Chains A and B, each alone.
Chain A
Amino acid sequence: MADHDPTPPAPPAPPAWQLGKSHRKVDAMERMRGITRYTDDLKLPGLLHCKILRSPHPHANILSIDTSKAEALPGVHGVITGKDLSIPYGIIPWTPDETALAVEKVCHVGDGLAAVAAVDEDTALRALAAIEVVYEPLQAYYDPEQALAAEVAINPFNKRGNLSKDVVLEFGDVEQSLADAPLVIEGEYFFEGTTHGAIEPHCAVAKLEPNGLLTVWSATQVSHYLHRELAKVLERPAHTIRVIQPPLGGAFGGKSEPFDLEFCVAKLAMLTGRPVKCLYTREEVFYAHRGRHPMKMRHRTGFTREGKITGVSARTFIDGGAYSSFGLVTTYYSGQLLCSPYVFPAYRFHSTRAYTNKPACGPKRGHGSVQPRFAIEVQLDKAAVALGLDPFELRRRNDMGSNTTTVNGFEVGSNGFLECLDRVESGSQWRERRASLGFGHGLGLAGSTYICGTNYPIYPNDMPQGAVQITLDRSGRARVFSGANDIGQGSNTMLAVIVAEELGLHLDDVRVVSADTDLCPVDLGAYSSRITLMVGNACMQAAQKLRGKVRESVAKRWEIPAARVTLIDRKAMDLEDPARSIALDKAFQWAEADHGLLGEVGSYNTPKDRHGSYRGGTIGASPAYSFTAHVAEVEVDPETGVVDVKHIWVAHDCGRALSKLIVEGQMEGSAYMGFGEAIMERHAVDPRHNGVHCGPSLLDYRMPTFLDTPDIHALIVEAPDPQGPYGAKEAGEGPLHPSIPAIANAIYDAVGVRIDALPFSPPKVLAAIQDRARLEQAGELAPFKSAGLGERRNA
Chain B
Amino acid sequence: MAETLLSLHINGELAHVAAPPHWSLLEVLRYRLDLIGSKQGCDKGDCGACTVQIDGEPVLACLTLACAAQGRAIRTVEGLGWEPQFRAAGCHPLQDAFDRYDAAQCGFCTPGILMSAESLLRKRGRAVTPLEVREALAGNLCRCTGYTKIVDAVVDASERMFAEDHDIHG
Interface residues of A in 638-681 (CB under 8 A from B): 661-662, 664-665, 668-673
Check A199–B102 contact: CB distance below 8 A.
no
Check B106–A34 contact: CB distance below 8 A.
no
Contacts of B147 in A (CB 8 A): 668, 672, 706, 709
Check A712–B148 contact: CB distance below 8 A.
yes
Check B146–A36 contact: CB distance below 8 A.
no
Contacts of B146 in A (CB 8 A): 665, 668-673, 709, 712
* CB-contact partner of B101 in A199, A487, A490, A661, under 8 A: A661
Residues 22-60 of chain B, each 1 if its beta carbon lies under 8 Å from chain A, else 0: 000000001000111111111110110100000000000
Residue B161 interfacial (CB < 8 Å): no
Check A705–B141 contact: CB distance below 8 A.
yes
* CB-contact partner of A200 in B35, B108, B135, under 8 A: B108
Check B145–A34 contact: CB distance below 8 A.
no
**What's the minimum C-beta distance from B82 to chain A, rounded to whole angstroms?**
11
Interface residues of B in 124-162 (CB under 8 A from A): 133-135, 137-151
Contacts of B91 in A (CB 8 A): 29, 32-33
Check A672–B145 contact: CB distance below 8 A.
yes
A178 to B145: give the CA distance in the assembly, Å: 42
Q: Place the interface of chain A in its size category.
A: 35 or more
A665 to B35: give the CA distance in the assembly, Å: 28
Residue B74 interfacial (CB < 8 Å): no
Check A32–B144 contact: CB distance below 8 A.
no
Binds A, one of B2-10, B63-71, B92-100: B92-100
Residue A774 interfacial (CB < 8 Å): no
Q: Which of B37, B104, B135, B143 has the most CB of A within 10 A?
A: B143
Tally of contact residues, B, Cβ under 8 A: 54
Take A201-B40, A709-B147 as given contacts and tell me if A699 and B46 are in contact as well, using a CB distance cutoff of 8 Å. Answer: yes
Residue A37 interfacial (CB < 8 Å): yes
**What's the minimum C-beta distance from A592 to chain B, rounded to whole angstroms?**
32
Residue of A nearest to B139 (CB): A705
**What's the minimum C-beta distance from B79 to chain A, rounded to whole angstroms?**
9
Check A28–B99 contact: CB distance below 8 A.
yes
A665 to B138: give the CA distance in the assembly, Å: 19
Residue of A nearest to B45 (CB): A699
Residue A168 interfacial (CB < 8 Å): no
Check B149–A668 contact: CB distance below 8 A.
yes
**What's the minimum C-beta distance from B92 to chain A, rounded to whole angstroms?**
9
Check B81–A33 contact: CB distance below 8 A.
yes
Check B105–A37 contact: CB distance below 8 A.
no
Contacts of A282 in B (CB 8 A): 41-44, 46
Interface residues of A in 34-53 (CB under 8 A from B): 34-38, 40-41, 43
Residue B19 interfacial (CB < 8 Å): no
Residue A158 interfacial (CB < 8 Å): no
Residue of A nearest to B108 (CB): A249
A23 to B99: give the CA distance in the assembly, Å: 9
Residue A24 interfacial (CB < 8 Å): yes
**What's the minimum C-beta distance from A262 to chain B, rounded to whole angstroms?**
19
Check A32–B34 contact: CB distance below 8 A.
no
Check A250–B108 contact: CB distance below 8 A.
yes
A488 to B76: give the CA distance in the assembly, Å: 22
Contacts of B98 in A (CB 8 A): 28, 32
Residue of B nearest to A28 (CB): B104
Residues 693-711 of chain A, each 1 if its beta carbon lies under 8 Å from chain B, else 0: 0000111000101110101
Residues 160-178 of chain A, each 1 if its beta carbon lies under 8 Å from chain B, else 0: 0000000000000000000
Residue A183 interfacial (CB < 8 Å): no
Residue B61 interfacial (CB < 8 Å): no
Residue of A nearest to B41 (CB): A199
Residue of B nearest to A660 (CB): B102
Take A33-B78, A38-B108, A697-B44 as given contacts and tell me if A706 and B36 are in contact as well, using a CB distance cutoff of 8 Å. Answer: no
Residue of A nearest to B135 (CB): A707
Residue A784 interfacial (CB < 8 Å): no
Check B134–A488 contact: CB distance below 8 A.
no
Take A28-B107, A31-B107, A661-B101 as given contacts and tell me if A43 and B34 are in contact as well, using a CB distance cutoff of 8 Å. Answer: yes
Contacts of B108 in A (CB 8 A): 31, 38, 198-200, 249-250, 488
Residue of B nearest to A674 (CB): B146
A490 to B104: give the CA distance in the assembly, Å: 10
Q: Interface majority SS on A: helix, strand, loop or mixed? A: loop
Take A34-B38, A709-B146 as given contacts and tell me if A490 and B105 are in contact as well, using a CB distance cutoff of 8 Å. Answer: yes
Take A197-B143, A697-B46 as given contacts and tell me if A490 and B39 are in contact as well, using a CB distance cutoff of 8 Å. Answer: no
Residue of B nearest to A29 (CB): B99
**What's the minimum C-beta distance from B150 to chain A, rounded to whole angstroms?**
8
Residue of A nearest to B22 (CB): A122
A199 to B108: give the CA distance in the assembly, Å: 7
Contacts of A714 in B (CB 8 A): 148
**What's the minimum C-beta distance from B163 to chain A, rounded to whole angstroms?**
22
Check A199–B142 contact: CB distance below 8 A.
yes
A96 to B136: give the CA distance in the assembly, Å: 47
**What's the minimum C-beta distance from A529 to chain B, rounded to whole angstroms?**
15
* CB-contact partner of B144 in A25, A250, A711, under 8 A: A250
Residue A534 interfacial (CB < 8 Å): no
Take A40-B40, A201-B41, A707-B134 as given contacts and tell me if A247 and B107 are in contact as well, using a CB distance cutoff of 8 Å. Answer: yes
Interface residues of A in 267-304 (CB under 8 A from B): 279, 281-282
Residue B114 interfacial (CB < 8 Å): yes
Contacts of A37 in B (CB 8 A): 36
Contacts of B35 in A (CB 8 A): 34
Residue A581 interfacial (CB < 8 Å): no
Residue of A nearest to B47 (CB): A698
A712 to B141: give the CA distance in the assembly, Å: 17
Residue B109 interfacial (CB < 8 Å): yes
A671 to B145: give the CA distance in the assembly, Å: 9
Contacts of A664 in B (CB 8 A): 102, 149
A84 to B91: give the CA distance in the assembly, Å: 49
**What's the minimum C-beta distance from A112 to chain B, rounded to whole angstroms?**
19
A645 to B43: give the CA distance in the assembly, Å: 30
Residue of A nearest to B133 (CB): A706
Residue A489 interfacial (CB < 8 Å): yes
Residue A248 interfacial (CB < 8 Å): yes
Residues 184-220 of chain A, each 1 if its beta carbon lies under 8 Å from chain B, else 0: 0000000000001111110000000000000000000
Residue of A nearest to B110 (CB): A32
Residue A252 interfacial (CB < 8 Å): yes
Contacts of A698 in B (CB 8 A): 41-42, 46-47, 141
A251 to B151: give the CA distance in the assembly, Å: 22
Check B105–A669 contact: CB distance below 8 A.
yes
Take A249-B107, A489-B105, A698-B41 as given contacts and tell me if A29 and B95 are in contact as well, using a CB distance cutoff of 8 Å. Answer: yes
**What's the minimum C-beta distance from A311 to chain B, rounded to whole angstroms?**
36
Contacts of B143 in A (CB 8 A): 196-199, 250, 252, 669, 673, 703
Residue of A nearest to B27 (CB): A121
Q: Which of A23, A27, A29 has the most CB of B within 10 A?
A: A29
A569 to B110: give the CA distance in the assembly, Å: 31
A22 to B49: give the CA distance in the assembly, Å: 27
Contacts of A250 in B (CB 8 A): 105-106, 108, 143-144
**What's the minimum C-beta distance from A290 to chain B, rounded to whole angstroms?**
15
Contacts of A196 in B (CB 8 A): 143
**What's the minimum C-beta distance from A431 to chain B, rounded to whole angstroms?**
25
* CB-contact partner of B138 in A40, A673, A707, under 8 A: A707
Q: 19 more A-B contacts (CB under 8 A) besides A201-B41, A668-B148? A: A31-B104, A31-B108, A34-B36, A34-B38, A34-B111, A36-B107, A198-B106, A199-B141, A200-B106, A282-B44, A487-B106, A489-B105, A665-B102, A669-B105, A673-B146, A697-B42, A706-B151, A709-B147, A712-B148
17 CB-based A-B contacts, threshold 8 Å: A22-B100, A31-B108, A31-B110, A34-B111, A37-B36, A40-B30, A199-B141, A250-B105, A250-B108, A281-B43, A282-B43, A282-B44, A662-B102, A672-B147, A697-B46, A698-B141, A699-B46
Partner-B contacts on A (CB < 8 A): 22-25, 27-29, 31-38, 40-41, 43, 196-201, 247-252, 279, 281-282, 487-490, 661-662, 664-665, 668-673, 697-699, 703, 705-707, 709, 711-712, 714
Partner-A contacts on B (CB < 8 A): 30, 34-44, 46-47, 49, 76-78, 80-81, 91, 95, 98-102, 104-111, 114, 133-135, 137-151
